[in-house]
Structure 1
């Protein structure tokens, strides 16, 4: 497969994922951004774009440090994608949304900054695991970059305070699965708030990790 064909396919994959997120209400307006690793660079959605309308030829190319290489100006949060992929060399894609329930959880007071959501379901434990809550920074504030990179070394998913989730995956499909599971667990968490709950025990979580199921 030629390099050009491969890159065209990656662009098409990003657009298909963008449309899916937008059509299912996991992003709105011009919120949310996606990236895929392309050799030593990243393809990322551009600044000010809607995932419902962005086109393949509008994607930006950045380097591993987050610097703009070619194409339209990248999302102002592209540096977060670069930071996540630097920290996780096995990952090849990053998805960031402002999805309603995860964003709502990110606004709550009193969350555990080391683990913002309990493992309410097996699929959350498998696809997301522990979810660190990072402090609030204004969108595009690059002061967040070192904190995100440090947290991403040990966690594939992060929750940004008063903002939303960001997830790295081995593939774009894996990152989408994880961020959707995170959103559904945030919904369950809010629905169950104030009720007695029974999260998975640490032993049950470890068993899932051992069996890979």
Structure 2
């Protein structure tokens, strides 16, 4: 499998539906906390987080000085459970209207990012309503997919036509597509900015991928 992407393919992964380009990566160590899963699933999710963070060459920590935890993942059965989570309305403004919109759309997942003064990611909230579709996805696949989608600020259209993951035909599991793994590594190279709205960044990312 190819581990290269053209600059145009890279740009498309960060080109939003309003046709604006926006790239961002985490600017601080990632401190995860997961709600609503059993111990086995918790271990799977934390293993996926550690693997993707290591792939990026980024860092994890035991606590975030501002938020305590800055990557919060919520697993639940009904959107109406969210307003009952103590203090969540302080972390997610307009939580009530958001829940109403997601419920009306019958959405089963949603991600909210928060950014620091430089535009880098400082927090992410992941909400997963475990409907029949998500419930049928193996825990390892769901965990890896979600972490990949939080390690960078991808376009809202990224991975709609093709998943970031690839199946292992002989083993039945999944892996991160090599070209997406290479792009994540390139995105965390220290010479590149933590945030950019300049589409020419795709050229720099392609160049970094080429020398890995």
Q: Which has the higher contact order (CA 8 A, sep 6+)?
A: 2
